[in-house]
Amino acid sequence: MPENKKIGLHTLYQTDKTKAEKILLGASANRRGFLKSGAIAALGTLLGAPVVFGKNYPSGLIPAAWADSDLPFSLPGKNGGLVILNDRPINAETPPHLLDDKITPADLLFVRNNGIPPEAGSIDPQTWTLTVEGESAARSKTYTLADLKSKFKNYTYQLTLECGGNGRKEFNPPAKGNQWTTGAVGCPTWTGVRLKDVLNDVGVKNDAVYIGYYGKDTHLSGDTAKTVISRGVPMVKAMQDESLLAWQMNGADIPLLNGHPLRLVFGGWPASCSGKWLHKIVIRNRVHDGSKMTGQSYRVPCTPVAPGTKVPDEEMCIIETMPVKSLITFPKTGATIKRSQKLPIRGHAWAGDTSIKAVDYSIDFGATWQKCNLEAAANLNAWQHFSAQITFPQSGYYEVWARATDAAGTAQPMLLPGWNPRGYLNNACHRIAVKVQ
């Protein structure tokens, strides 16, 4: 008898995961960040046994009964194929072959949480408000969601969100944090109002430098006085046409884990700028100094350093536009084809605030490169689709590498770019394995 069956674990795996998800993501925590007893009791019922030390159970943690099973623990509103990197806070990335759509479906957009999202039951779009204030705001003003929708013109843009730490896993010495491989990126459409229209309605003083955001998620410690994350962007990015206060993704409510009912979307910048569960924006007369804006967070050395270097805070610069990058989304790595066949490949390329002018592929580890077909972007800050048909000279093992070049002529590095202490901005070429028989 297999070991697992002997100890009866299979029965745990068969219990109702959907109900468990509801309990875990809808449950409130006490002051110390542990699940309240009602939720623990409900979880015990599902597991078919009481959670004996339940009073120590951290809110948001997925029981190992599900987390370690082969069955995907699907997050609410998310595809079961997402890879969960961390369950408290929830961080999940999308494997490359699941990012094949030109417009990323909502259930396939990665999730990066720094804290515990607001409880589903506590979000009422009817009463949700956004307040704009700060030293450089002419006054303080509060809008309901209905105000935003009706007072300002609505816009839809396709915008790329990529976590600044996407690709962190490859850096050596390793950087702390979620070990993202390639999947902390996606490009859905977003509907909302221009941030600049709202800022102008409030009134922006001449000395405005930066905006900062505040969301309704709670700190992992359970301390409600602590801010999870409060980042922002300089006024020029805030005032860009494509910078949105969005309430829809792909024409439907934004999934809870991606910031329902309201979030900021700054395409092409580290996604950490795009505040979720947004309820307050501050217009600052200095660089915003909220949580994860200062120190070493979302910053890289202002000038390159040798791997492993300790860099003082003053020599770290805030990441703004993201670098040129691409991803092969078809075929899935490990594809096998017949010698007589051509291999179709496709994927997407993006480059922060600029466009992609070429994508090339190589089947000889970068010695020679061939052009891919490249489509135009739907709008500024949207990724561009590429494709090609590859003929292989003989049977054997190959790697297909893709390399994008942006409008300024900057191309992706074939291997790792500059090491930095927190492991940001890895835009190395993506590669897949192909066997020709």
Ligand X SMILES: Nc1nc2c(c(=O)[nH]1)N[C@H]1C(S)=C(S)[C@@H](COP(=O)(O)O)O[C@H]1N2
Q: How far apart are CA 416 and CA 20, in angstroms?
A: 40
Q: Smallest Cα–Cα separation from 355: which of 235, 242, 211?
A: 242
Q: How far apart are CA 63 and CA 21, in angstroms?
A: 10
Q: How far apart are CA 247 and CA 153, in angstroms?
A: 13
Q: Which is nearer to Mo ion, 163 or 228 (CB)?
A: 163
Find the part of the chain contacting ligand X (CB under 6 A) among 136-144, 273-281, 333-341, 367-375: 273-281
163 binds ligand X (CB under 6 A): yes
- Burial (Cβ within 10 Å: 0-12, 13-18, ≥19) of residue 56: exposed
**Residue from 17, 112, 299, 430 binding ligand X (CB under 6 A):** 112
What tokens were used for 81?
């194929």
Minimum distance from residue 112 beta carbon to Mo ion (Å): 5
Minimum distance from residue 142 beta carbon to Mo ion (Å): 28
Instruction: Yes or no: say if 305 and 241 are a contact pair by the CB < 8 Å rule.
Output: no
160 binds ligand X (CB under 6 A): no
The DSSP H or E segment spanning 214 is: strand 210-215
107 binds ligand X (CB under 6 A): no
Residues numbered 5-44 forming contacts with ligand X, rule: CB under 6 A: none
Q: What are phi and psi of 280, to 5 degrees?
A: -150, 140
Specify the residue for token string 């001449």. 206
Q: Smallest Cα–Cα separation from 188: which of 122, 128, 249?
A: 249
Minimum distance from residue 229 beta carbon to Mo ion (Å): 9
297 binds ligand X (CB under 6 A): no
- Burial (Cβ within 10 Å: 0-12, 13-18, ≥19) of residue 278: buried
What tokens were used for 401?
């590498």
Give residue number: closest CB to ligand X. 215
Q: Which is nearer to ligand X, 168 or 403 (CB)?
A: 168
Q: Which is nearer to ligand X, 148 or 256 (CB)?
A: 256
What tokens were used for 106?
């909502």
Residues numbered 170-229 forming contacts with ligand X, rule: CB under 6 A: 215, 217, 228-229
Find the part of the chain contacting ligand X (CB under 6 A) among 17-25, 267-275, 348-356, 405-413: 267-275
* Site track for Mo ion across 139-168, x = CB under 5 A: ------------------------x-----
**Residue from 78, 112, 169, 385 binding Mo ion (CB under 5 A):** 112
**Residue from 274, 291, 381, 384 binding ligand X (CB under 6 A):** 274
Q: Smallest Cα–Cα separation from 115: which of 248, 367, 292?
A: 292
Q: Which does 114 bind (CB under 5 to 8 A by kind): Mo ion, ligand X, none?
A: ligand X
Q: Which amino acid is at 199?
A: L
Counted residue by residue, the chain has a size of 437
What tokens were used for 75?
């997050």
Q: Which does 277 bind (CB under 5 to 8 A by kind): ligand X, Mo ion, none?
A: ligand X
Using CA atoms, how far residue 395 sits from 94, 298, 389, 436, in Å, is: 31, 45, 17, 5
CA torsion, points 254, 387, 268, 310, in degrees to nearest 10?
Answer: 120
The residues, any chain, with a CB within 8 Å of residue 364's CB and separated by 6 or more, are none
What tokens were used for 29?
């925590």
Find the part of the chain contacting ligand X (CB under 6 A) among 6-14, 59-67, 275-283, 380-388: 275-283
111 binds ligand X (CB under 6 A): yes
Q: Which is nearer to ligand X, 110 or 210 (CB)?
A: 110
272 binds Mo ion (CB under 5 A): yes
Q: How many residues bind Mo ion (CB under 5 A)?
A: 3
113 binds ligand X (CB under 6 A): yes
Q: How far apart are CA 422 and CA 165, in angstroms?
A: 8
Q: Smallest Cα–Cα separation from 268: which of 230, 317, 318, 319?
A: 319
Q: Which does 276 bind (CB under 5 to 8 A by kind): ligand X, Mo ion, none?
A: ligand X
Q: Which does 181 bind (CB under 5 to 8 A by kind): Mo ion, ligand X, none?
A: none
Q: Which does 96 bind (CB under 5 to 8 A by kind): Mo ion, ligand X, none?
A: none
Q: How many residues bind ligand X (CB under 6 A)?
A: 21
Q: Which is nearer to Mo ion, 163 or 281 (CB)?
A: 163
Find the part of the chain contacting Mo ion (CB under 5 A) among 57-65, 133-141, 265-273, 429-437: 265-273
Judged by the rule CB under 6 A, the positions of this chain that interact with ligand X are 109-115, 161, 163, 215, 217, 228-229, 258-259, 271-272, 274-277
Judged by the rule CB under 5 A, the positions of this chain that interact with Mo ion are 112, 163, 272
